[in-house]
Structure 1
Amino acid sequence: MVLHPPAVASGFLDQTEPDGGEYKHTKFSLAYILDKPAPGHLFLAMYDEWFKHMHNFDDYLVSKGKYEEPQDPLYNPYTAYWKQEGTPVWSIMMQNPERFQTFQTGMAGIDVAIPVTGHFDFSTLKNDSPDTDNATIELVDIGGGEGTVLNKILEAHPGLSPKNCMLQERPEVIQLAKSKKTLPDGVQLVEHDFMTEQPVKGAKAYFMRMILHDYADAVGIQILNRLAEAMKPYSRVLICEMVLAPRVGEADFASAVLDQAVMTMGGKERTEAGFQKMFDAAGLELVKTWRAPGVPGGCVEARLKGQT
């Protein structure tokens, strides 16, 4: 490592002897190791896919001639950095499969702030009728990556039937999910673009974790519109993301950092009122924000208007 003395002086590294010796890890440096599950994967993903593209944010704003939040998923600091404006962020990311895999692994590190379970009771989605081929889909995980999140939900709620659950993702990610076999047998793996018509009608719940925060309100409303069109009176939309406090304080630092991170691709974190504004525009209404103790993330539940 370059700059060993500053690393020791800051407490990031230590030395083996009182008068010097070899350099050794501390609990802080160990967090950056990539050969085992650790926050290092998250730090690397956040730098490579978010903060790197914001280094010259002031120059970006000057070049655009307007000083406002990026709001276009095709024209933002991320796409400008890679000189591929007009191309979706995820298409750019997939051009480097190794970096994309690092991003997928790193996102698991956000579970501490935005837990997968411990808020909404997914067991309430279980079908009352016998498990048949014509049973209602219990849970659709939209944009759920390689299936890590859906797998955690199924492990925590064994009453849900894998064959009545579905993972929807981009074609290349579905292939990744199939090759890694993250999910139990029976779970339906479906290629789908959530900006288009939702093919599954009348599911018990449409679940999105850390999806809407990648987009500005106008695009988020389009995504929710596709879900509202497919919903039945009993259907729910479940949005698992950071839920900002109306007034952000020191305790909301993690939420504020993630808000700045997703701004690089034209996204934002939202307050409960911010979610309600989007729901209202899509013909939905907020039912409840489910919380796990001591974390900034939550699960925001919505239903069709007039069905609560």
Structure 2
Amino acid sequence: MDMFHLYQENRVEGESFNQVMGGVMATQAGWLDIFPHDTLVATANKDGPVLVDIGGGIGHDIERFREAHPGNGVSPLSGGPARSFNHDFFTPQPIKGARAYYMHGILHDWSDELARKILEMQRDALTPGYSRLLIHDHITPEVVAHPHTIAYDLAMMVMVAGEERTESHWSKLLKSAGNTIVKIWSSPLAVQRIIEAELDVQDFPILS
């Protein structure tokens, strides 16, 4: 049994884990400090979902986005306020055509094989040329990594057989799932960065 199934079956421990992770995230620069989030709302289809927070835990990231855009009804469902629901990200993403699909600290928990499967499960939900993947995670430099990143890398290896990845490693992983990197966003306030990616239209052609 892996750690996540253990927490799922033991609700008290699972809730404690979620609270701890929320506290850890609260001490770090948020994703709104790294990524130009205003563009998501400004360029989103008015009758479609704006943001889907995949594996969002207790919702600290989506809540920050809602606070920054109180009048925009950030929603996983067209036309409504933000809502949460249970979903296994190893199964196909049910919310189609959102402006962005956001994953914070998700893929580093998994091996390349399983991380690729998670990415592939989002693929059919993405609208080519419109939807973005936003992967908020550590990007390990090839040499002289930040101590925080090294600690996370070791922790992921020991606890869940996961890993932190270099930029070239991320690029290869995304490419294997039919995506391509648009830009990598960073902030001097943050150790983690945000990879903005989209469907690779050469691999997933847009039909006219």
- TM-score tier by shorter-chain length is 0.7 to 0.9
Q: Which residue of 2 aligns with 1:150?
A: 62
Higher relative contact order (CA 8 A, sep 6+): 2
What amino acid sits opposite 1:201 in the alignment?
Answer: K
CA contact (8 A) 2:52 2:98 kept: yes
- Is residue 244 from structure 1 mapped to residue 140 from structure 2 by the alignment? yes
With over 3 angstroms needed to count, the CA separation of the structure-2 counterparts of 1:130 and 1:256, relative to structure 1, is closer
Unaligned runs of 5+ in 2: 203-208
How many Å apart are 1:114 and its aligned residue?
5.8
Equivalent of 2:9, from 85, 88, 95?
95
SS of equivalent to 1:198: coil
Q: Does residue 290 in structure 1 map to residue 188 in structure 2?
A: no
The equivalent of 1:262 in structure 2 is 156
Indicate how the Cα distance of structure 1 residues 257 and 155 shifts in structure 2: closer, same or farther if over 3 A, else same: same
Instruction: Give TM-score, length-normalised by structure 1.
Output: 0.59
1:303 aligns with 2:193: no
SS, match of residue 145 in structure 1: coil
Q: Does 1:107 align with 2:1?
A: no
1:280 Cα deviation from its structure 2 partner = 0.5
Range 218-227 or range 100-109, more displaced: 100-109
Is residue 123 of structure 1 aligned with residue 38 of structure 2?
yes
TM-score normalised to structure 2 length:
0.85
Q: 1:160 to 1:124 in 2, by over 3 A?
A: farther
Moved more, 119-128 or 214-223: 119-128
Q: 1:141 aligns with which of 43, 53, 66?
A: 53
Q: What secondary structure does 1:126 align onto?
A: helix
User: 1:129: how far off?
Assistant: 7.8
Q: Which has the larger radius of gyration?
A: 1
Q: Please give the alpha-carbon distance, in whole angstroms, between the structure 2 residues aligned to 1:262 and 1:290.
A: 23
- SS at 1:270 equivalent: coil
Moved segments of 4+, more than 3 Å: 127-131, 157-160
What does the per-residue CA deviation read over 1:190-241, in whole Å, with 9 as the maximum and x for residues that have no partner? 2211111111111111111110010011111111111122211200000111
TM-align CA RMSD: 2.2
Percent identity between matched residues is 34
Report the number of matched residues: 197
The secondary structure found in structure 1 opposite 2:92 is coil
Offset of residue 104 of structure 1: 1.0
Gaps of 5+ in 1: 1-86, 167-184
